[in-house]
Chains A and B, each alone.
Chain A
Amino acid sequence: MGEIDGRTGLEVLDWDECLALLSQCSLGRLAVVIDDQPLIFPVNFALDANAVVFRNDPGTKVYGARNRRVAFECDGTDTVYHTGWSVLATGEAVQVRDPADRDRLGRLPLGPWSPGPKAIWLRIQPKTLTGRRIPPPHGQQPEGAN
């Protein structure tokens, strides 16, 4: 288990653990800022090495994300046991234009879920990758810990 942040009471997850959690997800949330207003959109994504890749049609998401600094978040919460984790990646969303790159990314499990050709591929190479987890209650061991 990672270190507990004394101020927040949350376990701090390191880069590798964040990446491992991201690799188990297929849905995340993208935040962009347009005219000082943040917006959050759910997006399905895949990992290419340690970069987040997703596809889109032209629209608000692409306008707000392309060549700008964005945030990308994944989480898992358990509403019964009141526990959970979250991972946040921040960095610039860059459009993938190189045909060889596109061919390679085309083999990722990244079919569109919603209608539209989704021909614009964006990639976020994380500048920061941070994660937090709500630790199990004091004295209670997580499953499999012993």
Chain B
Amino acid sequence: MTDAWLEQLSQEACLRLLREGAVGRVGVVVDGDPIILPVNYRLVEPPSGPLLVVRTRPGNVIEQAATNVAFEIDSIDPVNHRGWSVLVRGELLHAYPASATARELYEPNPWLTDGREAWLFIDPFAISGRELHEAEPYWPFHPGDYM
């Protein structure tokens, strides 16, 4: 029998998972306390390095948060206890893409678009991920014994 085990994911594996996702969670600090909010996002990869793009309402809680933020995505199967999670730590940048081309390129496609005119970029300084592998059952008899 093998117990459940955790595997550290490579940067490339983390980026691949971030590339495929559309919904994540932003963790911000407001008045010293953490808050978590689900957001639509998009990973963009200009030559200067990967960025996460989020569109939100001007003046909302993320916009008012401290610079250092966390961003998380996961997919975990609560029945079989297997899955993965990726954690990004980064800095929050406020920037409005000046050209329509840039906006199209970076568009995070929020599910709610009304008033989501504030563009935010998370500039990662650390990306890490883990995969949880489920325990493998122990077979009391070797299948070969029956052959």
Interface positions of A (Cβ within 8 A of B): 7-10, 26-27, 29, 31-33, 36-42, 44, 69-73, 75, 77, 79, 82-84, 86, 88, 90, 113-115, 134
Assuming the contacts A8-B57, A83-B111, asked whether A113 and B87 have C-beta atoms less than 8 A apart, the reply is no
User: A42 touching B36 by the CB < 8 A rule?
Assistant: no
> Nearest CB to that of B111 among chain A residues?
A82
Chain B interface main SS type: strand
What's the Cα separation between A127 and B6 when bound, in Å? Answer: 33
* Interface assignment of B105: CB less than 8 Å from any CB of chain A: no
User: B23 touching A42 by the CB < 8 A rule?
Assistant: no
User: B38 touching A86 by the CB < 8 A rule?
Assistant: yes
What's the Cα separation between A115 and B6 when bound, in Å? Answer: 8
Assuming the contacts A27-B78, A29-B36, asked whether A71 and B27 have C-beta atoms less than 8 A apart, the reply is yes
Assuming the contacts A9-B112, A79-B22, asked whether A38 and B37 have C-beta atoms less than 8 A apart, the reply is no
User: A90 touching B25 by the CB < 8 A rule?
Assistant: no
* Interface assignment of B140: CB less than 8 Å from any CB of chain A: no
Assuming the contacts A8-B57, A36-B68, A37-B70, asked whether A90 and B4 have C-beta atoms less than 8 A apart, the reply is no
Instruction: List A contacts of B51 (CB < 8 A).
Output: none
Assuming the contacts A44-B78, A70-B34, A79-B23, asked whether A31 and B68 have C-beta atoms less than 8 A apart, the reply is no
Instruction: List B contacts of A115 (CB < 8 A).
Output: 3-6
Assuming the contacts A33-B33, A38-B34, asked whether A113 and B27 have C-beta atoms less than 8 A apart, the reply is no
**Among B38, B89, B111, B132: residue with most chain A CB under 10 A:** B38
* Interface assignment of B28: CB less than 8 Å from any CB of chain A: yes
* Interface assignment of B145: CB less than 8 Å from any CB of chain A: no
B37 to chain A, nearest CB (A): 7
User: A39 touching B38 by the CB < 8 A rule?
Assistant: no
Interface positions of B (Cβ within 8 A of A): 3-6, 22-23, 25, 27-29, 32-38, 57, 60, 66, 68-72, 74, 76, 78, 81, 83, 85, 87, 89, 111-112, 114-115, 132
Chain A interface main SS type: strand
B18 to chain A, nearest CB (A): 14
A72 to chain B, nearest CB (A): 8
What's the Cα separation between A73 and B83 when bound, in Å? Answer: 18
A137 to chain B, nearest CB (A): 11
User: A71 touching B35 by the CB < 8 A rule?
Assistant: yes
A50 to chain B, nearest CB (A): 19
Instruction: List A contacts of B3 (CB < 8 A).
Output: 115
Instruction: Say which residue of A9, A31, A83, A134 sits within 8 Å of B34 (CB atoms).
Output: A31
> Nearest CB to that of A79 among chain B residues?
B22
B65 to chain A, nearest CB (A): 9
Instruction: Say which residue of B22, B33, B70 sits within 8 Å of A40 (CB atoms).
Output: B70
Instruction: List A contacts of B112 (CB < 8 A).
Output: 8-10, 134
